[in-house]
Structure 1
Amino acid sequence: MHFITCVLALLSSAAIVSAGKVTFWTLDDQTRTVYFTSNENKFPMDPVTVSNVEKTTVDFADDFVGNFVAVPEGELYRDGMLGEVKFGGWGGMTFFDVSAIVVPDDKDNVHQMWPADSQSPMSGCEIFPCDNAYYIWDDVQTKATTEDHLITTLGEGSTGINFA
């Protein structure tokens, strides 16, 4: 009986540790390295290589708050259009946005983010600039969802999804 209790405790803690995920969908032919930065370096994450060969899903720790940027293969790390996320926020919500604050004219990086199941709300746009991204500090463009799985597009192109 003690063994079963230990296994259930481990499974329960694993669910708590990995509570959110982002699937990266590359829309062009560039391979990129996605770099993650958590606030206060509380949840360090290794970079991940993504391409248009397949969508890549990355697990995030519960309560992760931070951002990610995608750097094209062969280029040095540089700032760009960011994906920002907070898993396990107020009321268990996931908060997210595409941030154009640092490099608003970046065309190679994060373009859109949305919840995987409902596909709404969506942050960002296929072509920048647009009025659906985060451009200034404390902008009202941050989105919220009860879902813990987000889709993020990288590079220019179309998903074929009509975000009404």
Structure 2
Amino acid sequence: MFSLRNIAAALALAASAQATNLMTFVSTDNIDRTIYVTPSAGVIGPDPVDVPGGATVEVEFVSGFIGNAYAVASGSANVPGMLAEVNFQGWGGMTYFDVSAIVNPNDVDNVRLMYPANAPNTPLSGCDPFPCNNAYYLPDDVQTKVTDQTNIIVTLGSGSSNVTAKRDVNTANNGRNFPRNLVENNY
């Protein structure tokens, strides 16, 4: 016999088994970079990962991950720059993401764009080229994007426009914007 509790537990298990949280880093030029992840307090994040020039590297994140990632070009000092911020399984089980220029708006050659991998014509955050009106510059900007997808593309480098040629990255028509507190898990 199946009880309602057993069915609900099975559905919850199936849903959690299907949700693999990924940030897919796509290098669009010939510069080797290292990705550094900064998780929020109490959250586990992956170790740094190398992304060779022209390569695509998937990085898996734990369920409910909240934090950011930044790229550092090979041979450069490890200084945080443009941030790829994400909250997997945030409010309502959704993924919240944005590109933030708050830490270093002059870092225009590393993290460029973020968008869901498996949902065409969905929200896009970031700029190509910088600056544009589709990234965070001030803490109270309303620029966070939301999706039900759990694989977020993060483009790196000066060739990003080749990857996103079909997207208009410099207009406000890149999905609805949400306040920053949603990417920070502060509802």
TM-score by length of 2: 0.76
Q: What code does the residue aligned with 1:32 have? A: R
* Aligned ranges 1:112-151 → 2 under 5 Å: 112-119=113-120, 120-151=122-153
Unaligned runs of 5+ in 2: 1-9, 169-187
Aligned length: 153
Helix, strand or coil for the counterpart of 1:91? helix
2:22 is the counterpart of 1:21: yes
Q: CA deviation at 1:151?
A: 0.4
- What does the per-residue CA deviation read over 1:114-157, in whole Å, with 9 as the maximum and x for residues that have no partner? 00122410000110010000111132100000111110001112
Q: What code does the residue aligned with 2:38 have? A: T
Helix, strand or coil for the counterpart of 2:20? strand
Q: Tell me if the contact between 1:19 and 1:88 (Cα under 8 Å) persists in the aligned partners.
A: no
- What does the per-residue CA deviation read over 1:23-51, in whole Å, with 9 as the maximum and x for residues that have no partner? 10011111000000110052132000002
Q: CA deviation at 1:160?
A: 4.3
2:164 is the counterpart of 1:163: no
- What does the per-residue CA deviation read over 1:86-107, in whole Å, with 9 as the maximum and x for residues that have no partner? 0000111000000000111212
User: In structure 2, what is the equivalent of residue 63 of structure 1?
Assistant: 64
Coordinate RMSD, CA, aligned: 2.0
Q: Tell me if the contact between 1:83 and 1:97 (Cα under 8 Å) persists in the aligned partners.
A: yes
User: In structure 1, what is the equivalent of residue 104 of structure 2?
Assistant: 103
Q: Share of identical aligned residues, percent?
A: 47
User: In structure 2, what is the equivalent of residue 42 of structure 1?
Assistant: 43
2:83 is the counterpart of 1:82: yes
Select the structure that is richer in strand: 1
Unaligned runs of 5+ in 1: 1-8
Q: Tell me if the contact between 1:33 and 1:72 (Cα under 8 Å) persists in the aligned partners.
A: yes
TM-score by length of 1: 0.86
Helix, strand or coil for the counterpart of 2:59? strand
Q: What code does the residue aligned with 1:25 have? A: V
Q: Tell me if the contact between 1:62 and 1:88 (Cα under 8 Å) persists in the aligned partners.
A: yes
